[in-house]
């Protein structure tokens, strides 16, 4: 039978929870029943993607109501893993990615580059009055 | 953030005693580096031996320190990167920007040359 996992997480909008969210991704990579790739590499990548996306939502997606928790879902269905990070703020310009310029050396803007590099499909769209960053990875 | 600061002659070694360098603690590191630079300590080594995980905010803080040190005719060098942290520098091509050494002694010695 196809492996199915659904996690629906709500955390306060504070960076002190980033480590916990990242560790959930690591634990999932080490637990997946049907994954035959490098589990430690997948664990690091899921930790990283969850940390980047959550930190981004905390920074750019803050609700008008500060107490509003941040919602993150992680779903595995067979060989497809989908992470969704929801925000209730004004969002950000997903298309405006700074280039990785070695000479100009920007201090910001590498988070989405990292997510796009490590995941197979990434999109950012409106959802229920806010936005969702949706990231998919094939677990081959 | 848990930092250990040690002077080796005119070189200051900043040891990060954290497992993670991320958006939660990278601002502290950035401030500490800026404080050192503004008080005339322009030869910095950031030792990452204990750091198992670094995200884009952590990389951004190190880039900030590197740029501020260079602007003051100094240098910021890195030592003791764990393989997964090294892979982050390669992914973002920052390994071409920073001088990276296997340990603190080699990083400190490189300032003498």
Domain boundaries, chain B: 3-109
Chain B nearest-CA distance from A32, in A, is 21
What is the predicted pLDDT for the residue at A138?
96
User: What is each CA distance from B16 to B5, B21, B25, B58, B103, in whole angstroms?
Assistant: 9, 8, 11, 11, 14
The boundaries of the domain holding residue A91 are 4-138
Write the CATH number for A77.
Answer: 3.30.565.10
A103 touches chain B (CB under 8 A): no
CATH architecture, domain B3-109: 2-Layer Sandwich (3.30)
Smallest CA-to-CA distance from B97 within B54, B66, B73, B68 is with B66
pLDDT per position as a tens digit, B58-84? 999 999 999 999 999 999 999 999 999
Among A88-102, B50-64, B76-90, which stretch is predicted with the lowest mean pLDDT? A88-102
pLDDT (mean) for A22-27: 97
A19–B93 CB contact, under 8 Å: no
Domain count across chain A: 1
To which residue do tokens 């659904």 refer?
Answer: A6
Mean pLDDT, chain A, whole residue set:
90
B56 with A52: Cβ contact below 8 A: yes
pLDDT of residue B66: 97
pLDDT confidence bin for A122, thresholds 50/70/90? very high
Tokens of B24: 């939660």
The answer, yes or no, to whether residue A66 has pLDDT greater than 80, is no
């Amino acid at each position: 039978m196809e492996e199915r996992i659904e996690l629906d997480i709500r955390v306060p909008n504070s960076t002190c929870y980033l480590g916990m969210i990242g560790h959930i991704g690591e634990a999932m990579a080490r637990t997946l029943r049907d994954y035959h790739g490098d589990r430690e590499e997948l664990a690091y990548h899921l930790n990283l993607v969850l940390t980047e996306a959550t930190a981004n939502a905390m920074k750019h997606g803050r609700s008008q109501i500060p107490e509003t928790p941040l919602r993150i879902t992680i779903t595995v269905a067979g060989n497809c893993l989908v992470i969704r990070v929801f925000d209730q703020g004004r969002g950000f310009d997903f298309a405006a990615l700074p280039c990785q310029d070695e000479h100009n050396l920007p201090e910001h803007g590498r988070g989405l580059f990292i997510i796009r590099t490590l995941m197979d499909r990434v999109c950012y769209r409106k959802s229920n009055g806010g936005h969702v960053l949706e990231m998919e990875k094939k677990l081959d | 953030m848990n930092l250990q600061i040690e002077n080796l002659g005119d070189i200051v070694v900043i040891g990060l005693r954290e497992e993670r360098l991320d958006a939660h603690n990278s601002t502290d590191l950035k401030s500490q580096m800026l404080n050192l630079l503004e008080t005339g300590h322009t030869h910095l080594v950031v030792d990452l031996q204990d750091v198992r995980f670094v995200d884009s905010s952590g990389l951004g803080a190190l880039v900030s320190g590197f740029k501020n040190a260079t602007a003051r005719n100094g240098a910021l060098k890195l030592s003791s990167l764990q393989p997964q942290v090294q892979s982050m520098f390669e992914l973002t091509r920052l390994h071409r920007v920073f001088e990276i050494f296997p340990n603190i002694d080699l990083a400190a010695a490189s300032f003498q040359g």
